[in-house]
Amino acid sequence: MKRLDQIIFKNAPRILLGAFFLCCSCEEKATPEEPSAQNPGPVKNSTPVKESGNVIQKISTKPAESTEAAAETGEGIRFMAYNIENYLTMTRYVTGGGKVSSPKDPKEVAALVKIIVDEKPDILGICEIGTEADLKDLQQRLKAEGLDLPHYVHTGGIDSTRRLGILSTFAIAGNHSKQELTYEINGHERMMGRGILDVTIDLPGGTTHFIGLHLKSKRELEDFDQAEIRLNEARLAREHCDVIFAEDANARIVLYGDMNDTRKTPPLAMLMGKYKSDTYMGDVFAKDSREHLWTHFWSYQQQYARFDWVMISPSVYPDVDQANSYIADPEIWNDASDHRAVVVTLKK
């Protein structure tokens, strides 16, 4: 018979597992105590302009020789969704008081690059990137550490500070991103903050849409309800998916990003659609090494929540390698970002 202390030690992570709820802003950071856990030169890229609807988007056109190399690894296609927390130049507080306009701290950048390189994604979907130059900077740093993701798209909405980006081993077949999307609240027209990133990539399983979102944070506004803004943005994103499904009932869609909301909330219900329908966007339900589900830590309130999601259409579901899909939880996660990345592996 096993000793009692051995049994308790073995099952400690399960005993200590908790649920974490939160109202969140994604702009504050401190080193937390994790619950029940231990705690280059310019890129030579041509970027021709390509139209998507009424909006001008930028899409890179690097040679696609790396596509074949990735397809030959036999380890599946690794997609990583990651809010990289303000990889941009902005006003920041400095030690000792005061503020200064500066890029992301070099130590945070080094930790971020290490986490991404260690996970070896074939496709990297990003929230909270700054300018196109910032995206190229990250791309070059990853390449210098052995991870070459030569193809990219950079886009966004009315928020000119925090944008969306995607880096890929595979060539971008099409860019269908939307920047100028509007909705109304109490008769007032508003524009979607970060827009919708939508690219198609030709994978062994078929041409697949990767749709990236960064919905409104839970930070309150004087004139509008942040929850209502988030719901309207989710509705616009769902309508975008429905247009794709209307054109192809078997469309392959991977919908991902920082939704700034949790399970069973109206925005998530809106994005997922009708349960078990032909257009239902199902949750991959990734967990970390301790079977925890949270992806974000809000230092101000010392709260944890699952804000980062990867959802898939019915046609993609059979391709998901659940055993190799998870929340990345290296010890240095909080040195890089206040979010943890979600990794989803698609079978070839």
Query: Which sequence spans correspond to the domains of the chain?
Result: 4-346
Alpha-carbon dihedral angle through residues 155, 159, 161, 162, given to the nearest 10 degrees: -60
Beta carbons of 94 and 137 less than 8 angstroms apart? no
pLDDT at 222: 85
Model confidence at 5: pLDDT above 50: no
Beta carbons of 251 and 245 less than 8 angstroms apart? yes
DSSP per-residue string spanning 225-289? -HHHHHHHHHHHHHHHHHHHHHH-TT-EEEEEEE-S--TTSHHHHHHH-STTSTT--EE-----T
pLDDT at 95: 85
Average pLDDT, the chain: 85
Which residues have C-beta within 8 Å of that of residue 100, sequence separation ≥ 6? Answer: 91, 92, 94
pTM of structure = 0.81
- 337 vs 15, which has greater pLDDT? 337
pLDDT, one tens digit per residue, over 16-74 is: 444 333 333 444 444 444 444 333 333 333 333 343 433 334 454 343 333 333 334 45
* CATH classification code of 4-346: 3.60.10.10
pLDDT, one tens digit per residue, over 259-315 is: 999 999 999 999 999 999 999 999 999 999 999 999 999 988 899 999 999 999 999
pLDDT at 133: 98
Spatial distance between the Cα atoms of 287 and 115, rounded to a whole number of angstroms: 17
pLDDT at 300: 86
User: Which residue in the block uniquely carries the two structure tokens 């101000």?
Assistant: 300
In this prediction, residue 84 has a pLDDT band, given cuts at 50, 70 and 90, of very high
pLDDT at 310: 99
Distance of CA 107 to the CA centre of its chain: 21
pLDDT, one tens digit per residue, over 195-242 is: 999 999 999 999 999 999 999 999 888 889 999 999 999 999 999 999
Spatial distance between the Cα atoms of 19 and 29, rounded to a whole number of angstroms: 21
Q: Among residues of the chain, what percentage have pLDDT more than 70?
A: 79
